[in-house]
Structure 1
Amino acid sequence: MNALPDRLTRLSGWRRSLMAAACGAVGALAMPPLGLWHALVVALVPAIWLLDTIAADTVWGRLRAAALIGWSWGFGYFVAGLWWLGAAFLVEADQFAWAMPLGVVGLPAVLAFFTAFGFALSRLLWTPGAGRILTFAAALTISEWLRGHLFTGFPWNNPGMAFGQSLWLMQSASVIGLYGLTLVSLAICASPALILTGPTTGQRWAAPTLAAVGLGAMALFGAWRLPDGPVETVDGVTLRIMQPNLPQDAKFNPRNRDAIMRRYLAISRYAGQDGGTLEGATHLIWPESAFPFLLHRDPGALAQIASILRPGALLLTGAARMEEPLPGEAAGRFFNAIQAIDHQGTILGSYDKVHLVPFGEYVPAFLESAIRALGLKQFVSIPGGFSAGGRRTRLAVPGLPPVAATICYEAIFPDEIFADGPRPSLILNVTNDAWFGLTPGPYQHFAQARLRAVEEGLPLIRAANTGISAVIDPFGRVVASLPLGTEGVLDAGLPRSLSQTVYGKSGRFVLTAMLVICLMAPALRRRKRPSPRAPSPTLS
């Protein structure tokens, strides 16, 4: 074995864990806003070497050692990639600052158990030679899928986003989706580990060369798929997105009601950069949780909205709404919603958020009594927290094709953009990222929502309080956008949707087939042609 992996993998105890955590932290550089996908190579290659040299006497011992390496790697990755969550605890520092370590350190510590599982599973199925790269990639992809689905799911900063930011590379998501990108990115970025550890020159370079060819093929596919010019727009639709850039500490204060309404109305009337006007817009869009009051119970606010809309125009806005209590209930239920309002101030339709943020919008039932006893509450000051919408429904908006509505981080879940049934023609995402200030968080949120457009072949309309607001075509190209931390408006047409993508038709089948191939191919190859394993140092 070369001196570098030899020296690295002779680490033991806390030094080995510290090295794994440092490698994971480097891997976070592949996420937005930096997007240095090469950092994932630096992060994964030593991880392969560390797994290579585990040689405990029992299966349990080997799994335990692999899980510890994986947990340490994941902890470093998630702390470095999610540290910005701490900003939310400082919005109301008098109430939540003490709990900041729970978000900055506690959540990464929990998420790292998924990585620990992936590393342990890969070591359980470990095979000599290049096959172990596929085994590792498949096992970690399975753990990432579990992270995105168990306990309400949290697929934030999935490793597949390393390739999900490049316009050419992200086009593969139209076939294999986010988790397919995860499998491919892990295999490609881990393959250079063989250059210094293969028993022969041919075996050292075969897999990395194949990985480079695969990466080039992805880029060529992306270049081929992208059209030369802009996508045609839907006739008769002109969008205007209003980005107020309202600080979170002011946003939910009812005392600021009048000032907030004046600000929204004034910004909505701004002259657009390309000469657009509010009078020329058919659909005005405001972000999530736009009001520190119940809009549907405020005729004055509805009248103010009606006063700025020309006949036939509509407002789509985030707003909390409350249902009247049912017989026997002490209070009504609150919902985080998107509402459509016409030029007469009439609410024409509503979509209720289905996938709520744990501890942000509600307290999980199994922890509710304990947390209430400690005097704690969710971040959003709604009595009892928000209730989840009954099911995901399309939002019918006059003048627009069928809308797949998403609120806040609902847009990061690949399989939850819309329910079964007729396919929508656009994705609408309203969000409030003011909680996280000018940190990497809003950039990461934007990138993940953008990838949904590519997966589904649908345009994305995104209105964010502090940014990044944008109109994105079904190829993931940004048609128009407003940067983070600015107020303003953007005017754009609505790009037409594409026919249903391969991922939209059979994404789960494609991913399952890829995982089966990656898990079975190394074992089958070993049975057909066993090869001696190169000598390597051992770690207990």
Structure 2
Amino acid sequence: MGAILTILSAALMTAANYYGHLYFLNWFALLPFFYYIYIYSPEINYRKIFLRGWNLGFWILFFSANFLYYSIKLYTAAASITVILLLILLFSILSLIYGLFFIIYFYLQQKLFADKSLSAFFFAGCWTLFELARHYLFFFFPIANPAYTQADFSSFVQLAAVGGIWLSTFILIFVNGLFFQIIFQKKFKKIIILGLIIILIFGFANYREQSRPVSSYNNKQKIEIGIITSEIDQQKKWSADQLQANIELTLKAASKLNQTGLIIAPETNLTFDFGSDKYYRQNFLDRVAAELKTPIQIGSLAAKNTGSGRYNSSYLISARGEIVSRYDKNLLLYFGETYPFKDLLNKYTPYYFSSLNAGHEKKIFKSQGLKWETVICSEILYPEYVKVDRGEVDFIVNQTNEAWFQDSRLLKNIMWQAAVFRAVENGIPVIKTGNKSYNGIIYPSGSYQKVNPGTNYHILNFEIPDSK
């Protein structure tokens, strides 16, 4: 029974990562687990609470990150059973911190409270600190924070404007605890606190809505941005036969977007080395100059003149076919773009693991009066990295290639949900375009417009202050 209750809690906590409209399930997701540890089997020692926390963490990570199966299998060509065993080992190791959290929480609860029943406020505070610690300790694994499941709860997500995912996490876990106290501990006075939280959520959302047209936005400039999207399988995309087709797709779609102020293509939409392949690069630049009237931002795995290896890069190219700027991805995706203990893996396994080079600086792109910051793929998952000054940039661009993870609904939703929070946190639009991904624009309010994947070129409209 305990295992069933634990798995049920983990499933409820992560359901909205698969189907965003199920966000409400996370508001009572911990009730089965609370019931297990406080009522069904309350006589526990530190060993038992560690194992129960470890088990909960394992299933949360399993439901949150099983998409890694596709990238590891595609990258290594390992047997399915090998990949599954590797993921079980990975999730088992990463979930140890959940067990450690519950040991610390129960120790503090026994020292600070005479009543051994759940303290909703204290538990929520501890869980939030735990998520903060997990985010920085396991920086290579920036997923499974419960706050992201609320991206479709438009009123609640407004709180991210003042407290980011950490305030959202605290309130979400706090409400879980309150429900448990009300239903199982019969502490009906907690209904008052629950009511105040509801008033806070919807009251703050209404306040933001009413205060949105502030004076700095009285004079607005209407912007049209074109995005190119694609639905190409990863293996096909990187085949030699597809190289020219990728170029043609980009230029053909871009030619339909010449009336916009900027055209943005997905991460690595060009599958030749834009840094070192002079023939294809010059041919592409010449065609941009001949066929386009608008600057275009493209992606490529590209080398540099100094050093070896390649970077995951984004280039801004003017309508004259000149390279204006380049950004190299700084935060590489573990188990996709870089591998820990790469030398050991290559030595003791029959598979070859290689890593990209990481960039070392952020870059603000500028063109035709527009200023924006680019984050590539998984960088959108780091709130402390995607932190911009509204006075310096007009919007954020997120280029992705999610075909690495086959056609995973889970991964697509996780990336989109993170982009929603980044838009609200920074108070500026996030434009997302990619291959095999959800694409479109997220506004500072958290509302969004997804584009139809059946077409590979799209025009997005939004407004920015007329002057900075």
Please give the TM-score of this superposition, normalised by the length of structure 2.
Answer: 0.88
The counterpart of 1:338, out of the listed 311, 314, 318, is: 314
Mapped partners of 1:93, 1:372: distance in 2: 11
SS of the residue corresponding to residue 95 of structure 2 reads helix
Pairing 1:493–2:461 present: yes
Question: 1:239·1:493 contact (CA, 8 Å) conserved in 2?
Answer: yes
Percent identical among aligned pairs is 20
1:96 CA drift (Å): 6.0
Q: Would you say how many aligned residue pairs link Structure 1 and Structure 2?
A: 454
Partner residue of 1:191?
178
Q: Are residues 481 and 337 of structure 1, via their aligned partners in 2, closer, same or farther at CA, if it must alter by over 3 Å?
A: same
The answer on whether the counterparts of 2:38 and 2:117 sit within 8 Å (CA) in structure 1 is no
1:468 lines up with 2:438 in the alignment: yes
Q: 1:98 to 1:229 in 2, by over 3 A?
A: same
- Contact 1:321-1:335 at 8 Å conserved across structures: yes
Q: Which amino acid aligns with 1:496?
A: I
Stretch of structure 1 that moved more, 38-47 or 338-347: 38-47
Give 1:159 shift: 0.9
Distance 1:491 1:229, change over 3 A: farther
Contact 2:23 2:153 in 1 (8 A): no
CA shift for structure 1 position 91: 4.0
Superposition deviation, residue 218 in structure 1: 0.5
Shift of 1:101: 0.8
Counterpart residue type for residue 368 of structure 1? K
Structure showing greater Rg: 1
> Is residue 2:340 matched to residue 1:357?
no
Letter of the structure 2 residue corresponding to residue 190 of structure 1 = G
- Structure 1 residues 359, 37: CA separation in 2 closer, same or farther (over 3 Å shift)? closer
Give CA-to-partner distance per residue, 1:463-517, whole Å, 9 cap, x none: 1112311122211221x3224x534222123432799xxxxxxxxxxxxxxxxxx
1:532 paired residue number:
none
Match of 2:91 among 108, 115, 119: 108
Q: Say which SS state the counterpart of residue 125 (structure 1) adopts.
A: helix
The 5 Å alignment of 1:409-488 reads 409-418=378-387, 423-436=392-405, 437-478=407-448, 480-483=449-452, 486-488=454-456
Task: Report if the CA contact (8 A) 1:62-1:123 is conserved.
Answer: no
On the 8 A contact 1:454/1:474 being kept in 2, the answer is yes
**1:368 maps to which residue?**
342
Unaligned runs of 5+ in 2: none
The one-letter code sitting in structure 1 at the alignment partner of 2:381 is: I
- Opposite residue 119 of structure 1, the aligned amino acid is F
Pair 1:363–1:131, CA change in 2 (3 A): closer
The residue identity in structure 2 corresponding to 1:219 is F
Distance 1:156 1:243 in 2: 25
**Secondary structure in 2 aligned to 1:64?**
helix
Pair 43,237 (structure 1): closer, same or farther in 2 beyond 3 Å: closer
**Corresponding position: 1:134 with 2:124:** no
- 1:283 and 2:258 are equivalent in the alignment: no
Secondary structure of 2:317 counterpart: strand
Summarize deviations over 1:311-364 as a string: whole Å, max 9, x none.
Answer: xx21112222211244xxxxx231111110012221110111111011211222
Relative to 1, partners in 2 of residues 1:472 and 1:233: Cα closer, same or farther, differing over 3 Å?
A: farther
Q: Map of 1:520-535 to 2, 5 A cutoff?
A: none
Which residue of 29, 35, 40 corresponds with 2:26?
A: 40
What TM-score results when the alignment is normalised by the length of structure 1?
0.77
> How is 1:134-283 mapped onto 2 (pairs within 5 angstroms)?
134-198=121-185, 204-226=187-209, 235=221, 237-269=223-255, 277-283=256-262
User: Which amino acid is 2:311 matched to?
Assistant: F
Aligned partners of 2:356 and 2:391: how far apart in 1?
Answer: 28
Letter paired with 2:272 = F
Distance 1:99 1:241 in 2: 38
Separation (CA, whole Å) in 2 of partners of 1:106 and 1:400? 50
Q: Contact 2:57–2:98 (CA<8 Å) still a contact in 1? A: yes
CA distance 1:30–1:122, shift in 2 (3 Å): farther
Q: Deviations over 1:233-270 (max 9, x none)?
A: 9637421001021211111223321122112222334x
The C-alpha deviation readout for 1:29-76, integer Å capped at 9, x for no partner, is 1434244233224431232233436766xxxx7332222111111222
SS of 1:396's partner is strand
Matched residue SS, 1:119: helix
CA shift for structure 1 position 162: 3.3
Decide whether aligned partners of structure 1 residues 63 and 119 sit closer, same or farther in structure 2, where only a CA change above 3 A counts.
same
Using the alignment, how far apart are the partners of 1:160 and 1:80 within structure 2?
15
Deviation at 1:389, TM superposition (A): 0.9
* 3-state SS of 1:490 partner: strand
**Residue 531 of structure 1: aligned partner:** none
Matched, 1:50 2:18: no
Contact 2:223–2:464, Cα closer than 8 Å, also in 1: no
**Aligned-partner SS, 1:424:** coil
Q: What whole-Å deviation, never above 9, does each CA across 1:283-305 have from its counterpart, x for those lacking one?
A: 11001011221124321122233
Displacement after TM superposition at 1:227 (Å): 5.3
Give 3-state SS (helix, strand or coil) of 2:228's partner: strand
Instruction: Name the CA distance, whole Å, in 2 between partners of 1:420 and 1:390.
Output: 20
User: One-letter code of the match for 1:470?
Assistant: G
In structure 2, the residue matched to 1:407 is: 376
Counterpart-to-counterpart distance in 1, 2:220 and 2:117: 49
Cα distance in 1 for residues equivalent to 2:436 and 2:120: 41
Residues 234 and 498 of structure 1, relative CA distance in 2, 3 Å threshold: closer
Q: Contact between 1:403 and 1:428, CA under 8 Å: does it hold in 2?
A: yes
Classify the secondary structure of the residue corresponding to 2:189.
helix
Residue 29 of structure 1 is matched in structure 2 by: 15
- Structure 1: 5+ residue runs without aligned partners? 1-14, 270-276, 327-331, 379-383, 500-540
Letter in 2 for 1:372: N
- Matched residue of 1:155: which SS? coil
Q: In the TM superposition, what whole-angstrom CA distance separates every residue of 1:193-244 from its partner, at most 9, and x where no partner exists?
A: 113443xx5xx11224412430332022113312599988963742100102
Within 5 Å, give how 1:318-337 maps onto structure 2. Answer: 318-326=299-307, 332-337=308-313
